[in-house]
Amino acid sequence: MVAECVRFFLDRPIAVALGGAHFLIYALPAWAVLLVRLAMGRMGRRELGLFAIFTGALLIEGLQLAVDGFSFFGGETWGLPRYFGVFAPLLWLWAAWSLAALWNVSSGWRRWLARSAVVGALGWIFISQGVMSFETFYRKGARHDALVAAERIAPTIRGDYRGPKRQAENKRTLAEYYTTRRPVVFSDFAAAAWMVRGQSEGALQGRRLCPYPDDYLFIRVGSGYGGMNTVDSRLYDYVRSVRGGLGAEWRLFRRKSTPHR
């Protein structure tokens, strides 16, 4: 049952906008407290005002996306947390209220039990969602493989590239943000571009919305890149290979028009 509820918040855009984008561990108790206080008429004018600001922000953001043609009853959910998650601290105030209520339980043994529960819960969140997630991000999985490969290829890119540090013009494109930095390096998680302080393809990886052509293409052998399974030898020259954090082979290709040593 719990797993199904979590899956609901992760799979549906409307649920992500209302809860999944706001860190569920804080959002679920916050919504529970908020709705109970609202139903029981316990909210004062300031609290109602805060609730109005929070819901108003959600509605305005949702309206903006709806005008652009986005449907909250189907479609992708991966980009929603960055739009709706910024309002999460307002919602978390009700979760903080519940912790404060537990912390201030008046009875002796009940106070000890309640405060132990608060400390234990916050400790568990810190370890499971902070320390362990940090460890997973940097030591395991595809991100770790990409980051290590990017660190190993960065000196090669810096030593090979001889072009300008900036594009001559600042082009604009819809639905994404770009700088004029060069070299432009396309790779998984934008890791290689980050390591050399260049420009990546942006969050919409592989959709080729970047207004600038890539100077380098850095791909993991066997998995391709953004739907690309082969590299056109008429457009790119092979430079070198490195290993990622999980031992996968990554290959660097330079666009033939890229200024190099």
Spatial separation of the C-alpha atoms in residues 145 and 137, rounded to whole Å = 10
pLDDT of residue 208: 58
- What confidence tens digit (pLDDT) does each residue in 27-86 have? 989 999 999 999 998 899 999 999 999 999 999 999 988 887 888 877 777 778 888 999
198 neighbors 181 (Cβ within 8 angstroms): yes
Here the tokens at position 92 are 């978390």
Which helix (DSSP H) or strand (DSSP E) does residue 182 occupy?
Answer: none
Give the whole-angstrom CA distance, residue 101 versus residue 104: 5
For residue range 126-172, list pLDDT tens digits in order: 777 766 666 665 666 778 888 899 999 999 999 999 999 998 887 77
